[in-house]
Structure 1
């Protein structure tokens, strides 16, 4: 009987429909080979060779002639190409052999759209040859991430030949004048830049949905903020991550007007100086901002708040008539200042706030005092009357009863747009207590009744960053 079952098992897989087999083959890729975060410092030269060869696909192709035909004849399976030439010198394989593996993968991918993740460290011919090979297939690029550490990086014959490119990410240690080949990319909507340099490649700014800029250059506030002045559409979001250290005061920044609908600012400020955020707020004006976020650096460096400059910024940008989402994390704002901000933002629907839980720095914004101020009242004094999403990342310095009083007051008013109230609690590691079973059960019961969407768990961002020792 066992022998018959084994024989049956061997016969089932080869006779599965081809479409299902291909899906299964695609799911066999090792972690990191799926086009997400493939470039890693933990990858070894031997693993790089296996990745370039698509070893898992070659092994599948050896099972039987049918599987071989499917693997070699299905371009979709070869759509992801990850190459890290910083590992090639340490490999036992000749660089020409590795380049041939890339060429074979490109050939088997035929005309299927490509996802690329490529790292090039030096100016040797292997890097140039690799980019020349990839550039010959630029009409197939759908998503591309390039990391390079030298100035003479080239993308030959790419300009005007990017009909499918939707997402582009560039990470570089130096300036990159040679990257200005993306101005004609009719489908490009997501653009990410991480750099020490000061020159950002030209792209079709007006069609972007999301632009993210991470500058490693300290104190480049003026140059970085100037990117907001590009010709974005009114539905674009812009995220800036900037470093400020040992900067001279006062900080003088030229005025900038932007029409993006979403803006997130992460400031890594080495000293808690409110003049830094104050200078940024003092120079910015948004014409149609819907979502706004201020974030400090994770760890022991927080973002010092400047309430007066924020109120002036809110008035100048007419946030009273446009802003629907506000987020503040690792920001030293107190409940009086937050209440003053919320008073001038009557259209807010989403409020995302956090206590501070850094290395030697803790601060509790989310207390009974603040939660009581957020309880809904049927008058003009009510803060955030349209609130339907409340996310608290908390040290749990509030009482259960006051929290549930707040939630109970919001259940019906939150339905003004046809939705139920969504309430999230993310518990920080330095919390003063744990949530009780009764607390969790109450949220679960309200969710079961369809009155509330409820989440209570450890803070996922803190968990991830602490695992990475960041």
Structure 2
């Protein structure tokens, strides 16, 4: 009996140990599972922490440097916006200097993009310490270095008189940039630069204005012209404005091909044409006529643009352009006998004519004319012109004509004469007409076009069969399109 009892107790003890062992094995397994779970949570937290503390990632920073540089260049202010244009170089709120402040990568890339540093525009009228000697020297050195070998342009405006040493400022400026300049626009006080002389080996375009000078400052320039720009071997384009005149500057006139000027006298026009025999294009405005002008025969002139002319019309008596191809006349009395004779001198060479009006007699002689644009023609003139354009009846009238645009017209009744004239321009030996536009003055907006029956469909048929552009009525989208095209 005693043996049986001992055996029972031993068996009971072994079973209990196994139960305890199983229990602890189970607890160990559960704790290990929790450890694995916690380790996974720790890894996820570490990843999240790294993503939160890592530098921000922007897709734009992954673009190639070449594309970013191109984008930077398009960030530069539009030169046509005057409010930004003259202050853009030193304005830290605009490109290029704004780009230096975004991040270190953009700064490095902007500094290494030469096209960002080609336009140097300074405004003396803007209060700043920029023109102090040390700052100016450092600024110009950095700017020129960043531009690399790319040609530069300089716009300088305002009165330097308020600066402590205006001549020092201009001397420092030109010493740094004159060898690099391809374009220069200078409208400032002449007494700080008329005694200076520099070499401009790359300069092709020069603009000079006297808007910040008194009459007494300019009085002696006729006898002692400014020599600052006499060393400009590549100069091709010259723009004189705000009272600047040809006799006031010593330039390499014989190389000029383009001249633009305002506020000229007739004598200024003649002087410029005599000084620059290679001119191919000349634009003059607000011309004040003078008597007793010498005759000028200018064989190289291809395009002449004159506007706001005050009579008497003696200038037109003096000028002869035997090879002229494009003539633009604004606010000029084309009925004046001198103007009619002027036009007749090159009628056989003219390709494009833009004017307020012109006589039909003058048009008869223009056998090579391809483009005719007139502003404010009378209704009678338009009627006569359409009759003459009918090639069936007048085969020799403007045989090469391709574009006709009549702007600022009065509304008119449209009849078959228009269709017959345009249709005839698609037949025969002459060049086909590509465009006919009769634009009514904007004040007639709201008036409907008065068509004869079938006119609209006939014009549409012309467009579909020949591609001819035709339009009659108020401006479709731009009231001044014909002005910008040359009138």
Change (3 A) 1:389 1:383: same
Q: Distance in 1 between matches of 2:271 and 2:469?
A: 40
* Residues 292, 323 of structure 1: 8 Å contact kept: yes
Consecutive unaligned residues in structure 1, runs of 5 or more: 270-274, 297-302, 356-362, 465-470
Consecutive unaligned residues in structure 2, runs of 5 or more: 1-47
| Counterpart check, 1:238 vs 2:282 | yes
Q: Distance in 2 between matches of 1:257 and 1:127?
A: 43
- How far does residue 463 in structure 1 lie from its aligned partner after superposition? 8.8
Q: Distance in 2 between matches of 1:444 and 1:102?
A: 61
* Residues 409, 438 of structure 2: 8 Å contact kept: no
> Which of 349, 357, 360 is equivalent to 1:339?
360
Q: Distance in 2 between matches of 1:437 and 1:398?
A: 7
Question: Residue 286 of structure 1 aligns with which residue?
Answer: 321
Note the 1:192-341 alignment, pairs <5 A.
192-198=239-245, 199-215=247-263, 220-233=265-278, 236-244=280-288, 251-259=291-299, 260-269=301-310, 276-277=312-313, 279-296=314-331, 303-315=332-344, 317=345, 319-329=346-356, 333=357, 338-341=359-362
Question: Greater strand percent: which structure?
Answer: 1
- How far does residue 293 in structure 1 lie from its aligned partner after superposition? 1.9
Q: Distance in 2 between matches of 1:264 and 1:396?
A: 26
- Per-residue CA shift, 1:311-352, capped at 9, x if unaligned? 43345x3x24312222213xxx5xxx6101112222211211
Question: Residue 376 of structure 1 aligns with which residue?
Answer: 390
- How far does residue 114 in structure 1 lie from its aligned partner after superposition? 0.7
* Residues 366, 392 of structure 1: 8 Å contact kept: no
Q: Distance in 2 between matches of 1:380 and 1:442?
A: 22
| Counterpart check, 1:71 vs 2:103 | no
* Residues 327, 351 of structure 1: 8 Å contact kept: yes
Question: Greater helix percent: which structure?
Answer: 2
- How far does residue 147 in structure 1 lie from its aligned partner after superposition? 0.7
| CA root-mean-square deviation | 3.9
Secondary structure in 2 aligned to 1:202?
A: coil
- How far does residue 125 in structure 1 lie from its aligned partner after superposition? 4.2
- Per-residue CA shift, 1:363-383, capped at 9, x if unaligned? 736754233234232466643
- How far does residue 424 in structure 1 lie from its aligned partner after superposition? 4.3
- How far does residue 149 in structure 1 lie from its aligned partner after superposition? 3.8
Note the 1:120-199 alignment, pairs <5 A.
120-123=158-161, 124-125=163-164, 127-136=166-175, 137-154=177-194, 156-158=196-198, 161-173=199-211, 174=213, 175=218, 179-198=226-245, 199=247
- Per-residue CA shift, 1:47-69, capped at 9, x if unaligned? 93874557433443344332221
* Residues 360, 385 of structure 2: 8 Å contact kept: no
Please say which structure displays the higher CA radius of gyration: 2
Change (3 A) 1:400 1:23: farther
Q: Distance in 2 between matches of 1:443 and 1:81?
A: 53
Q: Distance in 2 between matches of 1:149 and 1:440?
A: 61
Question: Residue 406 of structure 1 aligns with which residue?
Answer: 421
